Amino acid sequence: MHTATPHAAFPAAAPGDAPIALEAQYGAHNYHPLPVVLTRGAGAYLFDDAGRRYLDMMSAYSAVSFGHSHPVLVRALTEQAGRLAVTSRAFHTDQLGPFLQRLSRMTGMARALPMNSGAEAVETAIKAARKWAYKVKRVPEGQAQILVAEGNFAGRTTTIVGFSSEAQYRDGFGPFAPGFASVPFGDAPALEAAITPHTAAFIVEPIQGEAGIVVPPAGYLKAVREICNRHNVLMICDEVQTGLGRTGALLACDHEGVKPDGLTLGKALGGGLLPVSAFLARDDVMAQFTPGDHGSTFGGNPLAAAVGHAALSLLEREQLVQRAADQGAYLMARLRALAHPAITEVRGRGLLVGVVIDPRVASARQVCEALMHEGVLTKDTHHTVVRLAPPLVIEREQIDVAVQALARVLRSLA
């Protein structure tokens, strides 16, 4: 009988290192986490297996917008879990309808289709846009085109990475689905030039997160809206990361008074407790789905609906959208006041901020590792940008702690 033995690259670890060693030995190496083992979270804080406290300045890529273990959301989760968690969509439940109503009314969209991950919401948007193009716009079958912005990040499914402009996300995973073309982000004339009679939709992040917290020029989204109107093209805003208050508005597209034809939400919609996402759209777009066209065993489950509904209520009750605007302005001002030569730019909106580090001084990863030792946790993107996107419940005193920690790290690198 064959007996499995540990891989030579992963010798037995000391007890304190066991979780990291076990993850390395038995898990796929598709992430490069900071070397910290977290066991607990509360509000804007995280705690490791030695009891050390850290300020969370990333909030799980905006999924923990309400802070860790918010008592209102934990109560909604546990009470619903004690009654009914999953039934599939083969039956109605008492939780889904009220959740969809509140979500649709808050965002101003006609209907919502619940899913689980953000990538699933984007995949749903793609299916809706294509069928709308064939049934409503009368694009010849199989010829619908969807435009995307360069630098986009919408998830990791094979369709989505197929239209990514990041080489690593595509390497080794083809062949990819046809029917997509990229245009420069923030360039409205380039979008209009790329549109053809077969163009179904333009999918765009109002602020690009994974690309490095890239904010488009003022007026860009409004120009995109006008272009899409002229050419009968669906404008679909990917707000999986920016939605639900992160940028100081309920939706990032609200900053320019733009209403999209389709909208994807996720991350914060699950209250930092479980995966909840949704595709929302106007009536004629959502009407393309008929029974059997699309679905998900877990999408819209009563547990997710109860938590999502509670999260939306909490967002309004605690005025977290305005809080993100106020605290974000304070964070940006404090960061810019550092005026350190290692910082080449501070950009973002609300509590979605990117600090660009001069690669001649240090990599953003080095900065994040040093911040960890200062009691602040966050992650880099694209090797040059340090994300600062804390829970929306963060206090100004906590922002001061994070900025002071960054100042100490930068001084040590100089």
- Distances in whole angstroms, Cα of residue 210 to Cα of each of 58, 125, 234, 254, 365: 12, 20, 23, 21, 14
**Residue 153 among the catalytic residues:** yes
β-bridge pairing 111-115 and 277-281: antiparallel
Is 254 an active-site residue?
no
The residue assigned the tokens 């979605």 is: 352
In 3-state terms, what secondary structure has residue 7? coil
Q: What are the tokens at 222?
A: 């409004």
CA-to-CA distance for 81 and 304, rounded, in angstroms? 10
Residue type, 202: F
Alpha-carbon span 240 to 375, nearest angstrom: 28
CA angle 153, 263, 204 (to 5 degrees): 40
Catalytic residue among 66, 153, 289, 298: 153
Residues 6+ apart with CB under 8 A from 208: 149, 151, 152, 153, 185, 214
* Residue carrying structure tokens 């946790």: 377
Catalytic residue among 99, 261, 267, 279: 267
**Phi, psi for 263 (deg, rounded to 5):** -150, 135
- Enumerate the H helices of 108-187 as residue ranges: 118-132, 158-162, 167-170
Which ranges of 210-357 would DSSP assign to H, the alpha helix?
A: 220-231, 283-286, 302-317, 320-338
Question: Pick the catalytic residue: 56, 238, 254, 261?
Answer: 238
Residue 238 is among the residues annotated as catalytic for this protein: yes
Residue 361: CB partners within 8 Å, gap ≥ 6? 341, 342, 413, 414
- Residue 290: helix, strand or coil by DSSP? coil
- Pair of tokens at residue 121: 């919401």
Locate 328 and state its tokens: 């974000």
- Residue 347 burial (CB < 10 Å; 0-12/13-18/19+)? middle
Residues 6+ apart with CB under 8 A from 226: none
Q: Which residues are catalytic?
A: 153, 238, 267
